[in-house]
Structure formats: structure tokens, C-alpha cells
């Protein structure tokens, strides 16, 4: 049977109102030519727009984002506050560049000294990786040179495309490294009074970086030892079993051949699409050709709606190892609010939070979720609820204050829940327990700011009602470190060492104890250091690190580790040289790691 692909890549959603012209400032409806500051006359009281010499575009905090790690790029000159920057004096001729909209500063992400490494915005920590001095180029242009690594801020390749991300490269004085400092409103004096141009309406919904935010990303401050965040008073994890197992579950996304080759406990697949095109689909005997884009009909028009789920469940329940029955759990990553955002006409992030406040769309979504649960029935499955979405909710403030039309959308199952994102989380959990009583329901843990704000994350997940779920699910990083290390992919360093690994475990432990539930790690990269960094054979160290630190993971209340690729070209259980299979066999032969 041919089944639909089981994974996809999350893409950064970008939306922009284009107005005004490069080189002009809008002042109370009139147009004025503005002057340029030189490298020697930066006014620390003024706001500047930085215009790139090669592209004519402005340094821009993309999509008015305000979260740590959000990407910086270039965009046509709009005069918006997300294109306005202040030079904050750091001493010795160095400055932090502070964005007017977010209050965050230009940051060399993860203290990288790699060519092509990403530049983002981060809270102002006054680290050397956030400090820049100005080098003069011709005609009043300057280069921004990072104090930590000596590299210059550049628009890679001199791309003229709106939204092109910034990166750092060695200082070669190229035109794409040269910036014109244009004072906002033409103010070049030191009084600090600036004329603020008319700005477009600032979006009130968040965006996030491409892909699920990895727990392994380096913090913006140079790391030292990272102590665990303090758990809430009186909290504690009481779960020493997960889905009937007293030892840590091992599994992932894999082909049938790999699933047979080792005593895996869990396999996972994604379920994502817009809701069924017609309510008739839920009772139809066969799928129609026009329904093929809906997950319920991914298996084609010769099968009944929902066969994708019932087929996978049957396979897992009848799995064998070495000729003996050894059933596996099936974990479903329910990932469809992104698609509901498309139905709202917005997409990732903004569309999702708009869609849940539309009773018509949320009704269709919850009907679709109920159908999934009914297809699962009495199977002993697991569900991972909505990666990324809860992170968007958190960025808007208290989850109780993010509106959702829960009561109107599903009065039968969720009429007693509040009309908020918290109410929606509780609705999804309670529906899971009602319609799929043997299935464990996991709330996805999306704390993009965990390295700086774990206590707030714990509070937010308490507000979401995570203690009503059966476990939390979180992702480490979505692609192999060798893939990320390539210049074409940002030259990022996502390899682990003990420091990074133990910092992540401390976070998992805090969250598990805060809500009293174990954590399942999901979509852990499969690369290993024997690979050659070609497609499907990229290097990474997460598999080897986790299998050599299982006791520490158990101490952090990690109940399961599920390995899989978050995008094409990544290493898989079929291309990793047998590393995951061999380690899983050895793990089970040794008796497994007890949960704590």
C-alpha cells in the first residue's frame, strides 16, 4: 500500500505592508530628504535606519518579531519601527544596535565565529557577541564589525530580495557589507528629539524561526555552567511509567524494514492537512478523488477514510522481532493548526491564532480531530498535540487571554471549557481521553526562550493545563548538525557536548516536575560521526550522546526518545549505517533504563 509522506518542513511565514520609498522619510505627510551620519558622529540618542549599499534595502527585524532568536534581514524601506535602530554605547568604541520595535539587539547567534553564521535579535545582555564597532568605507558608508569575532554584518551575495537574512563574513569591505546610517526624521543633533515617521500597523501575532526551535541551540551569552531552573514549590514527577512501560521507550520515524530489525517501542507519523473537505467524508464508505489532500484519504480512493491511521495502527500492533510478537506503540503528531491557518488566509503563526478564534474553522478542526480519535479507537497509541503552536500562544502572553471559540466550536465535548488557548488545550486533551481511552495524550513543549525564561515557560504550561495531559513532547533539533554546518544552511553549530546536553536535560527535568508528567523527546536527529556530510548521510552526535547518557536522561524524567528527520536530505534509520538499530538492540539486551 502506498502511503502519503509522513513529514514536512515548517516555513517562516512572512507578511508585509510595503509603503514609502528608499532614501525618504515620511514626516506628518510631508516628504523630507534625510542626511547621513558618518562613522565618527554616531548619536547614541538618535534612531537610525541602516540602508545597505549593494541592495538599497534596510536592516529589518523581519515580521515585527519580538522573540529572542528571531531572524534579521533586509526589506524595502518602510520607515517602520522594526527598521529603526539605536546605537547603545558599550565603551571602547563599541555599540549594541537596539531595535525600536522589539527593544532587542543585533546578536551573533550562539557566539559563532563561522563564516555565514546567522545574525538575529536577542535581549540585551551586553555580551561581546552583541557589540559592534564602525569601520569607515567610502562616501560616508560604514561596516559593522563584531567585537567577539571581528566579522562584518553582510547581506550574503548582495541579494536584492525582500526578506533575505543577514549573516556575518570576514571584513572584506564589499558593498554588501557597507551601510548608510540614515537618522530617522533627518535628526543629526544630540538632543535626542526625533521625529517618528508614520508606521504601518504592527502585527500582533508572532512568527518563529524556520523549523521547530531546537533545544540544542547555543545560548546568546557565552555559556558557562548552566544550572537547572528551580521547580515550583512542592512539585514533583510522580510518573515512573509511560504507556505501561517502566523503562525508557526508544523509537522513531522509520520504514518497516528498520522497525523489524530492532526491538523498537514506538513509531511516529505526522497527521497534517486542512480538515475534511466535506462532513460526508467522515461517514463515506470510500474516499473520493477530490479528497486526496485530506489526511483521511491519503491512502487513495480505493480505501475508506481514515485508513492511513487504521493501517499504521494494525502494523504497529502486529510488529514482530526475531520471529516473536512484539507490538509497538504508534505516536501521531497532530500538526494541523498550521493548515487551519492556511484556511484562515494567514498561514504559520498569525493564521493559527486567528483561526482558533473563528468558530467556523475551529468547528471543522475539532470535528477532524474527533475523527482521528475515533479511528484510533481502543489502540494503545500516543498523540503529540500541535508542535510550535503553543509557542506562538506563549509569545502573545497569558494563554488564558488568547481567544479561541472553543464552546461554540464543540459544545458537546468542550462546552465547559473557557474560550481561550488554555481552553483549547484542555478540549484537545479531554477529547483524546474520551474517544481514544487507551491512548496517551502529549502536549507539545514549545519554549523557544527556554534558556532564558524557563520559569515563565513552566507557568505558561501550568496555565495551559499540561498536568491534565499524560506527558509532554519536545524536539531537540529538526535536522542533522552536519547539514546545518554547511554555509548554504547558515553555518550553524548544533553539535552537542556535555554542557549543551546537560543544560537541555535540566530544562526537561524542570518542566516535568512543574507539571508532574514525563517528557518524550521527538524528532531527534539520526546522524553520526561516521557519516560523510552528503544528502541522507549527515553527521550529528545526538544518537550517540543520548545512548551514553540514558541514566541522566531518566533522572530528568525523560520517558522516551524518538529519532527522526524533520526535513528531506537528513540521515534516517535506513541510511545511518545501522547505528540506531545496533544501539537499540544493545539497550534492550541490557534490560533498558528504568524511568524515574
Residue 424 pLDDT: 98
Is the confidence at residue 463, as pLDDT, over 50?
A: yes
Give the residue, 565 or 9, on which the prediction is more confident: 565
Q: Which of 170, 186, 202 is the last residue of a domain?
A: 186
Averaged pLDDT, 174-182: 94
Predicted local confidence at residue 191, as pLDDT: 29
Question: How much is the pLDDT for 249?
Answer: 98
Q: In this structure, are 260 and 136 located in the same domain?
A: no
DSSP letter, residue 133: E
Tallying the residues shown for the chain, one arrives at 596
**pLDDT of 68:** 82
Q: Tell whether 507 and 398 lie within a shared domain.
A: yes
Burial 344-363 (b: 16+ CB within 10 A, else e): bebbbbbbbbbbbbbbebbb
In this predicted structure, what is the pLDDT of residue 41?
A: 66
pLDDT for the residue numbered 127:
86
- Tell whether the model's pLDDT for residue 273 goes beyond 70: yes
Taking 80 as the threshold, does the pLDDT of residue 215 lie above it? no
Task: Look at residue 198 and tell me whether its pLDDT is greater than 50.
Answer: no
The dihedral of CA 35, 40, 43, 49: what is its sign? positive
The pLDDT score that the predictor gives to residue 63 is: 82
Rg (CA), the chain: 25
In this prediction, residue 112 has a pLDDT band, given cuts at 50, 70 and 90, of confident
Residue 531: alpha-carbon gap to chain centroid: 26
* CATH number of the domain to which 124 belongs: 2.80.10.50
Checking if the pLDDT of 486 tops 60, the result is: yes
Are the C-beta atoms of residues 541 and 489 closer than 8 Å to each other? no
**100 pLDDT above the threshold of 70:** yes
Quick one: 176 and 253 in the same domain? no
Domain boundary among 165, 186, 207: 186
DSSP 195: P
Q: Identify whether residues 391 and 470 lie together within a single domain.
A: yes
Mean per-residue pLDDT for 478-505?
95
Rounded Cα distance, 76 and 316, in Å: 52
Q: Are residues 136 and 270 in the same domain?
A: no
The answer to whether residue 213 sits within a structural domain is: no
**Model pLDDT, residue 6:** 32
Q: Give mean pLDDT, residues 268-293.
A: 95
Q: Is the pLDDT of residue 567 over 90?
A: no
End residue of a domain, out of 186, 207, 226: 186
Task: Give the residue-averaged pLDDT of 323-350.
Answer: 91
Question: Among candidates 394, 343, 333, 390, which has minimal Cα distance to 365?
Answer: 343
What is the pTM (predicted TM-score) of this model? 0.63
Domain membership of residue 135 (yes or no) is yes
Distance of alpha carbon 427 from alpha carbon 406, whole angstroms:
8
Inter-residue contact 119 to 107 (CB < 8 Å): yes
**3-53 residue pLDDT tens:** 333 333 332 222 222 112 222 222 222 222 223 343 456 899 999 999 999
Give residue 578's pLDDT: 97
Q: How many C-beta atoms surround the C-beta of residue 257 within 10 A? A: 10
Mean pLDDT of 427-454: 95
User: Are residues 442 and 572 located together in one domain of the fold?
Assistant: yes
- Number of domains composing the chain: 2
Q: Angle, nearest 10°, between helix axes 498-515 and 450-464?
A: 20
Q: Is residue 254 part of a domain?
A: yes
Residues 81-98: tens digit of each pLDDT: 999 999 999 998 999 999
Assess if residue 145 is contained within a domain: yes
Looking at 203-212, 249-258, 468-477, which range is the least confident one? Answer: 203-212
pLDDT greater than 90 at residue 302: yes
| 92-96, 222-226, 382-386, 415-419: segment of lowest average pLDDT | 222-226
* Among 99-103, 220-224, 331-335, 477-481, the least confident range: 220-224
Whether residues 488 and 573 share a domain: the answer is yes
3-class state of residue 411 by DSSP: helix
- According to DSSP, the residues that pair with 521 across neighbouring strands are 474, 561
What is the C-alpha to C-alpha distance for residues 385 and 440, in angstroms, rounded to an integer?
11
DSSP 8-state symbol, 478: S
Beta strands in 353-422 (DSSP E): 382-385
In a domain, 104, yes or no: yes
Q: What is the pLDDT of residue 94?
A: 93
**pLDDT of 367-380, one tens digit each?**
999 999 999 999 99
Residue 203 counted as domain residue:
no
Which tops the pLDDT comparison, 445 or 22?
Answer: 445
- Same domain flag for 370 and 505: yes
Distance CA 468, CA 457 (A): 16
Q: Which domain holds residue 562?
A: 249-589
| DSSP H or E segment with residue 459 | helix 450-464
Q: What is the pLDDT of residues 403-419, one digit of tens each?
A: 999 999 999 999 999 99
Per-residue pLDDT at 210 exceeds 50:
no
**Does the pLDDT at position 479 exceed 80?**
yes
Phi, psi of 243 (to 5 degrees): 50, 40
Same-domain pairing of 179 and 266:
no
- Does any domain span residue 450? yes
Give the mean model confidence (pLDDT) for residues 144-148.
Answer: 94
Instruction: Please tell me whether residues 446 and 368 are part of one structural domain.
Output: yes
Q: Which three cell numbers stand for residue 534?
A: 552528503
**How high is the mean pLDDT of the chain?**
84
pLDDT given for residue 70 in this prediction: 86
Q: Are residues 253 and 148 in the same domain?
A: no
Residues 276 and 161 in one domain: no
Packing angle of the helix pair 307-317, 359-376 (nearest 10 deg): 30
The answer as to whether 268 is a domain residue is yes
- Residue 140 to residue 118: CA distance in whole angstroms: 26
CATH code of residue 413: 3.20.20.80
Amino acid at each position: 500500500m502506498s502511503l502519503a509522506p509522513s513529514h514536512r518542513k515548517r516555513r517562516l511565514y512572512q507578511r508585509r505592508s510595503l509603503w514609502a520609498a528608499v532614501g525618504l522619510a515620511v514626516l506628518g505627510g510631508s516628504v523630507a530628504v534625510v542626511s547621513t551620519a558618518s562613522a565618527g558622529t554616531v548619536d547614541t540618542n538618535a534612531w537610525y535606519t541602516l540602508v545597505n549599499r549593494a541592495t538599497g534595502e534596510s536592516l529589518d527585524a523581519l515580521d515585527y518579531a519580538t522573540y529572542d532568536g528571531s531572524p534579521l534581514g533586509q526589506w524595502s524601506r518602510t520607515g517602520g519601527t522594526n527598521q529603526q535602530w539605536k546605537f547603545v554605547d558599550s565603551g571602547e568604541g563599541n555599540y549594541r544596535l537596539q531595535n525600536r520595535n522589539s527593544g532587542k539587539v543585533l546578536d551573533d547567534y550562539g557566539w559563532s565565529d563561522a563564516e555565514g553564521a546567522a545574525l538575529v535579535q536577542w535581549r540585551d545582555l551586553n555580551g561581546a557577541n552583541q557589540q559592534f564597532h564602525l569601520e569607515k568605507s567610502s562616501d560616508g558608508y560604514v561596516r559593522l564589525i563584531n567585537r567577539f569575532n571581528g566579522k562584518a554584518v553582510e547581506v550574503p551575495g548582495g541579494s536584492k530580495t525582500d526578506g533575505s537574512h543577514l549573516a556575518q563574513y570576514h571584513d572584506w569591505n564589499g558593498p554588501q557589507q557597507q551601510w548608510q546610517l540614515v537618522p530617522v526624521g533627518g535628526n543629526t543633533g544630540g538632543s535626542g528629539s526625533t521625529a517618528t515617521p508614520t508606521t504601518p500597523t504592527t502585527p500582533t501575532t508572532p512568527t518563529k524561526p524556520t523549523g521547530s526551535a531546537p533545544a540544542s541551540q547555543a545560548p546568546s551569552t557565552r555559556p558557562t555552567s548552566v544550572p537547572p531552573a528551580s521547580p515550583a514549590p512542592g512539585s514533583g514527577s510522580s510518573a515512573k511509567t509511560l504507556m505501561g512501560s517502566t523503562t525508557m521507550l526508544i523509537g522513531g520515524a522509520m520504514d518497516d524494514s528498520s522497525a523489524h530489525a530492532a526491538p523498537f517501542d514506538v513509531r511516529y507519523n505526522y497527521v497534517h492537512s486542512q480538515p475534511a473537505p466535506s462532513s460526508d467524508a467522515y461517514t463515506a464508505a470510500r474516499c473520493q478523488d477530490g479528497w486526496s489532500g485530506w489526511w483521511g484519504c491519503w491512502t487513495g480512493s480505493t480505501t475508506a477514510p481514515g485508513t492511513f491511521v487504521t493501517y499504521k495502527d494494525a502494523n504497529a500492533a502486529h510488529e514482530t522481532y526475531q520471529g516473536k510478537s512484539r507490538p509497538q506503540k504508534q505516536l501521531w503528531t497532530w500538526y494541523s493548526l498550521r493548515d487551519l491557518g492556511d484556511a484562515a488566509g494567514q498561514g504559520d503563526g498569525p493564521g493559527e491564532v486567528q483561526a482558533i478564534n473563528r468558530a467556523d474553522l475551529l468547528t471543522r478542526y475539532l470535528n477532524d480531530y474527533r475523527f482521528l480519535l475515533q479511528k484510533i479507537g481502543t489502540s494503545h497509541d500516543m498523540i503529540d498535540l500541535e508542535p510550535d503552536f503553543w509557542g506562538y500562544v506563549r509569545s502573545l502572553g497569558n494563554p488564558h487571554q488568547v481567544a479561541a471559540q472553543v464552546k461554540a466550536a464543540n459544545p458537546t465535548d468542550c462546552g465547559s471549557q473557557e474560550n481561550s488557548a488554555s481552553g483549547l488545550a484542555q478540549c484537545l486533551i479531554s477529547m483524546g481521553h474520551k474517544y481514544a481511552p487507551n491512548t496517551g495524550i502529549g502536549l507539545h513543549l514549545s519554549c523557544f526562550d527556554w534558556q532564558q525564561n524557563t520559569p515563565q515557560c513552566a507557568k505558561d504550561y501550568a496555565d495551559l493545563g499540561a498536568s491534565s495531559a499524560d506527558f509532554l513532547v519536545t524536539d531537540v533539533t529538526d535536522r542533522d548538525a552536519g547539514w546545518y554546518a554547511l554555509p548554504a544552511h547558515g553555518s550553524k553549530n548544533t553539535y552537542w557536548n556535555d554542557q549543551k546536553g546537560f543544560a537541555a536535560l535540566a530544562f526537561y527535568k524542570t518542566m516535568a516536575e512543574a507539571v508532574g508528567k514525563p517528557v518524550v523527546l521527538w524528532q531527534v536527529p539520526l546522524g553520526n560521526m561516521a557519516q560523510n556530510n552528503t544528502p541522507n548521510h549527515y553527521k550529528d552526535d545526538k544518537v550517540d550522546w543520548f545512548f551514553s547518557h540514558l541514566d541522566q536522561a531518566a533522572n530528568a524524567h525523560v520517558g522516551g526518545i524518538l529519532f527522526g528527520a524533520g526535513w528531506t536530505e537528513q540521515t534516517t534509520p535506513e541510511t545511518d549505517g545501522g547505528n540506531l538499530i545496533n544501539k537499540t538492540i544493545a539497550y534492550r539486551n541490557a534490560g533498558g533504563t528504568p524511568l524515574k
